[in-house]
Amino acid sequence: MRKWHRWLSVFFGVFLFWIAATGLLSQAADLWPSAEPTTAEQLAPAPPAAFVCPKGWRCRPPEATTGFASLKGFFHHLHSGEEFGLPGVIISILSGLALAFFSLSGLWMYIRMWSNRRSKKLNGGMFWK
């Protein structure tokens, strides 16, 4: 198991870092304050003349984003691999599966090491030096 863990981590480590970085940028773009506070009414074009808002609805144009926050969609496409077409999406899916494998195999290796130390009656408890 360690051999697979080690060799897969060499390949997928780069992609997992990419996914982590673009995910962080996507979330940061959401939280980033816009440079100039504007309302949607100021930035949105006027609705078509034939448009009538249905009774009981509040019809508003979507909020326009400016600055760093406008890059959220781009970061999401990088994060999901969509920006690179089908190969990017496949690598993104495989990276997600690799992350699940690393989590489970790492836990499995830790439990095996812990049980080996416990059977040999070595000190250290759950976290040894």
Residue among 58, 19, 21 nearest 40 (CA): 58
pTM above 0.75, yes or no: no
Contact 71, 22 (CB under 8 A): no
When the pLDDT of each residue in the chain is averaged and rounded to a whole number, the result is: 79
| Number of domains the chain contains | 1
The reply to whether 25 falls in a domain is yes
Mean pLDDT of the 58-67 span:
68
pLDDT of amino acid 35: 58
Residues spanned by the domain of 14: 2-35+65-119
The reply to whether 40 falls in a domain is no
Between 107 and 126, whose confidence is greater?
107
The reply to whether 84 falls in a domain is yes
- The span from the CA of 52 to the CA of 57, in Å, is 10
Mean pLDDT of the 10-20 span:
86
- Per-residue pLDDT tens digits for 29-61: 877 776 555 555 555 566 666 777 788 887 776
The reply to whether 54 falls in a domain is no
